[in-house]
Structures are given as structure tokens and as C-alpha cells.
Structure 1
């Protein structure tokens, strides 16, 4: 059994920060669950281009506000507590922070190693620490 507190990740190499978000990667590929599990905060007033070509992601918004806009059709969806969205077709999108920090819980498949950041195309590389 794996039991962790997100506070154990704070200040470690698995708390990854960019100009637009902060991600606390709690369960990772090395844990052998087949997915990874993260708490992420999207900073207010920011915009992040994302296109996960190598991963599927499900996101549960638990606090704050924001918006997601799909690139293919320009549809915009308001984000706030209780909203869940799933990038089930590797949907290219813009993720925007609102007036308050947007705190979300994310699941990735395949799991992340814990060090990934978006490249210039908004993609997380497909990495593996498995032997």
C-alpha cells in the first residue's frame, strides 16, 4: 500500500513550477499504478498552451476559477469547483487562470516520471524510468 501526504512533495524535486503553474506530483510511474496523480495550481491571469500528444489526462477542479479553450473548434469552458474535464482525444487547448488560483487534481496515463514540463508545442515528452 502507498500512503502519501501531498505536503511530503512540497520543496522536493517532484514539486515542479513554471511561470504559469505549480504541480505537486504525488504518484508517479515508479509507483507502478499505471497512472500518475498530481495536485496542480494554475496561477491567476496566466495562459498555458497544452497539447498532450503522448498522454491522456483527466482533471478535477477543486478550487478557484479559470477557463479551457479547445484549439480545434474554439469552444470555451468555464472551470471552477466540481468541474471535471478529460482530454480523451489528446485535445490541444489553452488553459487560462482566472481571478483566483485554480487548484486541480490530475491523473495522467501513461504515468509521468515527475520531471516533465511542456515543450514549445505544449507537449510532455514520453519519458520512462522503467528498466
Structure 2
């Protein structure tokens, strides 16, 4: 069904074509692509890394993917592997989609001062980075 004698912008579209047009018009290609990779994280980075590190967020403006690791040792290992992972991620997403991999260690328990806690003491620095 068409709106006139010739094809135009008001003609009905198939759902896939309408979605592709919408994501292009709104500039959603990159966030959707990154979301697809985070959904397939074990396939992209490998099962061993995926077991200890997971994507936490993506800053579209800066093109930074933030990854949280379950230990400081894995955070260090992932920082060493970052150049290879950036190549693999940009191969999946398109060149320049991820410029920086920001690696975070495990988050510790909330630091609320208790009755017997000295002000300014942070606790074990080796565990929570």
C-alpha cells in the first residue's frame, strides 16, 4: 500500500526496515551494537575472562567500555590484555567504536565509620581496588 503514485517517505515499512531507519535517525547504532556484544560477552572475550570480568557500562561520547573484575589479579590481567581485547571488540563492533577499556577491580563493602573505627582508615587495600 502506497501513499501516492510514487514511493515516498510516508509509505509503510516492514518492521525491520522501520527499526533500522529509526536507529539510524536517532544515532542508536553504536549503543545497540555495544549492547549486542555485552550480551555475547563470553563469546567475544572467551569463557575464562567472562567468568571473572563483566562489562559494566559504555560511554558513547568518550567511547569507553567499563569492565568490572572480581579480583585485583584479574583486573591487572585484563589491563595487560586490553590492546588485544580492543582489537577484538572493534572487529565485532566496527573500527573506533571502543577507544579505551576502563578496567575496575572489585568493589568493597560500603565504608561507613563504625563506633570503633578510626577516621580515615580504609581497610585492606589489597582486596578492594
Structure number with larger C-alpha Rg:
2
TM-score category, normalised to shorter length: under 0.3
TM-score normalized by the length of structure 2: 0.25
Q: Which has the higher contact order (CA 8 A, sep 6+)?
A: 1
Of Structure 1 and Structure 2, which has the larger fraction of its residues in helix? 2
